[in-house]
Amino acid sequence: MRIKPTLLIISALASALVSTTSVFANEVNIYSARQEELIKPLLDNFSRDTGIKVNLITGKPDELISRLASEGRNSPADLLISTDVGRLYRAKVRGVLQPIQSDVLTSAIAAELRDPAGQWYGLTMRARPIMYVPGKVNPDELSSYAALTDPKWRGRICVRSSDNIYNQSMVAGLIAHQGVAATEQWVKGLVANFARPPQGGDRDQISAAANGVCDIAIANTYYLGGMLSEPEQRATAEKVKVFWPEQAGNGVHVNISGAGVAAYAPNKANAVRLLEYMVTEEAQSWYAQVNHEYPILAGVKSSALLQNFGEFKADQLNLEKLGELNGEAIRVMDRAGWR
């Protein structure tokens, strides 16, 4: 029997569709605010183990969130990775993430490190303690964030600007615990003790303390870990030590790097599979050893460098509150003169 040309065309189109679907089903597309070198080796391991191709686009977090919102249903993104819960909360509020359910994720990640609605999940944890210069600061003088407003620290504290979301999240955490009025008074006292107008990133604050510009810096632990692991910065980083504040209170402020599945993910199943891979012992160990971040999976050791910082009590506040209170934190910082 002779097959009509029309049927041949339909058959060819169907075959092409099946082939295309198969290709798309075997990939996952990531929008990542993490630098490529901090995540690509882990993604390569995922591809090696699963056969799923990973397509990675990196950029600034707010720009990636805006891109997701602009693309809408046409977005190719399956997963958004960001470096602060504040930005993951922004993505949630803008409707560019979707809730997912995964027993793997909920069993691996403590409740305070994931969205109660399942729209974002913490993948690593970082702390924001006090860092001090031995010989200039006796650690017995240190206790809490609140104590940094003491006049004895006048002109001795370095911290980055108020437009940095790490600082915004720290202030939001204080608001959650003690309210707006008390936090605003704390910010005013902290600002009065600045050694200089805020400038640069966390590494710059650590370097400033090491170089005598100030005696105390507030910075994330993984920046210090990174500096200690780099030969050209090790000598500078070794001049400062970590002090864990709030150990008799709520615990040191912590934050996360984390991820959420995009609202219109074309490869949702693969995105969930990648998220689940990122909380395996292998992936968590890689993060801990290479990036010097604290693993969120119980039983996985932090890097030797971070272990040297000592054990600490972390704030158990659900990090969703940091996103909810971000706007209030910014207003408090503005009123208190933190620029």
**Integer Cα distance of 158 and 339 in angstroms:** 13
211 within domain boundaries: yes
- Indicate if 236 and 103 belong to the same structural domain: no
The neighbouring-strand residues paired with 226 are none
Has residue 112 been placed in a domain?
A: yes
CA neighbor of 243 nearest in space, from 252, 234, 255 = 252
Predicted pLDDT of residue 2:
38
Q: For residue 29, what is the enclosing H or E element? A: strand 27-32
Q: For residue 203, how far is the Cα from the chain centroid?
A: 16
pLDDT of 87 reads 95
Least confident of 31-40, 130-139, 259-268, 288-297: 31-40
pLDDT at 25: 60
If asked whether residues 266 and 214 sit together in one domain, one would say no
Q: Are residues 150 and 290 in the same domain?
A: no
Taking all residues of the chain, what is their mean pLDDT, rounded to a whole number?
92
User: Is 136 contained in some domain?
Assistant: yes
Which of 205, 21, 46, 19 is CA-nearest to residue 123?
A: 46
% pLDDT > 70, the chain: 93
Q: Within this chain, do residues 225 and 277 fall inside the same structural domain, yes or no?
A: no
SS3 103: helix
Three-class SS of 152-220: HHCCCEECCCCCCHHHHHHHHHHHHHHCHHHHHHHHHHHHHCECCCCCCCHHHHHHHHHCCCCCEEECC
Of 216, 188, 189, 172, the closest CA to residue 317 belongs to 172
Q: Answer whether 156's CB lies under 8 Å from 324's CB.
A: no
Same domain, 222 and 328: yes
What is the extent of the structural domain holding 41?
Answer: 25-125+256-300
Mean pLDDT of 317-326: 97
Q: Nearest CA to 223 among 309, 136, 123?
A: 309
Same domain for 222 and 167: yes
Q: What single-letter amino acid sits at 241?
A: K
Strand order in the sheet with 157-158: 157-158, 216-218, 130-132, 241-243
Cβ partners under 8 Å of residue 106, min gap 6: 114
d(CA 291, CA 114): 21
Q: How confident is the model at residue 8 (pLDDT cuts 50, 70, 90)?
A: very low
Structural domain includes residue 331? yes
Residues 182 and 274 in one domain: no
**pLDDT tens-place string over residues 154-190:** 999 999 999 999 999 999 999 999 999 999 999 999 9
CB-based contacts of 184, cutoff 8 Å, min separation 6: 332, 335, 336
Name, in order, each residue with C-beta under 8 angstroms of 283's C-beta and a sequence gap of 6 or more: 42, 45, 46, 277
- Provide the CATH number for the domain around residue 165: 3.40.190.10
Is 210 a domain residue?
yes
Are both 272 and 232 inside the same structural domain? no
Is 14 inside any structural domain?
no
Quick check: is 228 in a domain? Answer: yes
| pLDDT confidence of residue 34 | 85
Regarding whether 174 and 75 lie in a shared domain, the answer is no
- 105 in Cβ contact with 276 (< 8 Å): yes
Instruction: Identify the pLDDT of residue 176.
Output: 98
- pTM of the predicted model, to two decimals? 0.90
Q: How would residue 199 be classed by pLDDT, with cut points 50, 70 and 90?
A: very high
Q: What is the mean pLDDT of residues 47-67?
A: 96
How many structural domains comprise the chain? 2
329 and 296 in one domain?
A: no
Say if residues 205 and 218 touch (Cβ distance below 8 Å): yes
**What pLDDT was estimated at residue 11?**
35
Question: Could you tell me if 177 and 268 lie in one domain?
Answer: no
Burial 171-204 (b: 16+ CB within 10 A, else e): bbbbbbbeeeeebbebbebbbebbbeebeeebbb
DSSP element (H, E) containing 43:
helix 40-50
Give the separation between CA 256 and CA 250, rounded to whole angstroms.
17
Q: In what order do the strands lie in the sheet with 79-82?
A: 53-58, 27-32, 79-82, 254-261, 121-127, 294-295
Q: Is residue 11 part of a domain?
A: no
Same domain, 41 and 97: yes
